[in-house]
Amino acid sequence: MLPPAQAYRLLRLITGAVWSIALAGIAAWVYTSQASAKAVSADHGIAIGGDVSGGSTVENTTAVDPAK
């Protein structure tokens, strides 16, 4: 069993490590959510969030108005 002073120091070390990992996780989550929130603009004002890759397709089924 650890003396109280060493147990307190170990508890502070563990708490600091957990806090640091939590902050790094939140920062990574914010960074990735900001990166994927960028909109890709297509013709006729259609916006698609993120990227379209890996065999995905996007079809525009709206009628084209030649007057515009």
User: Residue 31: helix, strand or coil by DSSP?
Assistant: helix
pLDDT reading at 50 higher than 90: no
* CA 18/CA 64 separation, integer angstroms: 56
CB of 46 closer than 8 Å to CB of 60 = yes
| 4-48 pLDDT, tens digit each | 999 999 999 999 999 999 999 999 999 988 876 654 545 555 555
pTM of the full structure: 0.49
Query: What pLDDT is stored for residue 34 in this prediction?
Result: 83
Which pair of tokens denotes residue 50? Answer: 């993120």
What letter represents residue 67's amino acid?
Answer: A
Pairwise CA distance, residues 67 & 55, whole Å: 34
Q: What is the pLDDT of residue 5?
A: 97
Q: Is the pLDDT of residue 3 over 80?
A: yes
